[in-house]
Amino acid sequence: MEDDEYLSIFIRSSLAFKKGLMLANSTGIVDSDYYNNADNEGHIMIAYYNTNDQAYTLEKGERIGQGIFMKYLTVNDDAASGIRTGGIGSTGK
């Protein structure tokens, strides 16, 4: 992934419509510096919420999500700097 990209993670529509699952956080966002920081080796984890009364087990090899790589822009006076040291939800907000 390039430095000016991020990965958007979406649920596959078949899981939503046929199984009643939804992403717990609506859309997953993976920053380009997510891999190889102190708390994470780049494993992408997806949290689902089951809207049904019946349990559903995700099977190994099952297609559970899809990703789209996107470019992003920064403003001219962006003063953000530093090295990322966190993993999921690491902004502290």
**Domains identified in the chain and CATH numbers:** 5-71 (2.70.40.10)
Supply the pLDDT for residue 23: 94
Q: Extract the tokens encoding 60.
A: 């190994």
Kindly indicate the confidence band of residue 75, based on its pLDDT and cuts at 50, 70 and 90: confident
If DSSP codes are grouped into helix, strand and coil, which group holds residue 72?
coil
Asked whether the beta carbons of 24 and 48 are under 8 A apart, the reply is yes
Long-range CB contacts for residues 85-92, cutoff 8 Å, separation at least 24: 85/37, 85/38, 85/39, 86/37, 86/39, 87/34, 87/37, 87/39, 87/40, 88/40, 88/45, 90/39
Question: pLDDT by residue (tens digit) across 13-61?
Answer: 999 999 999 999 888 888 887 777 666 677 788 899 999 999 999 999 9
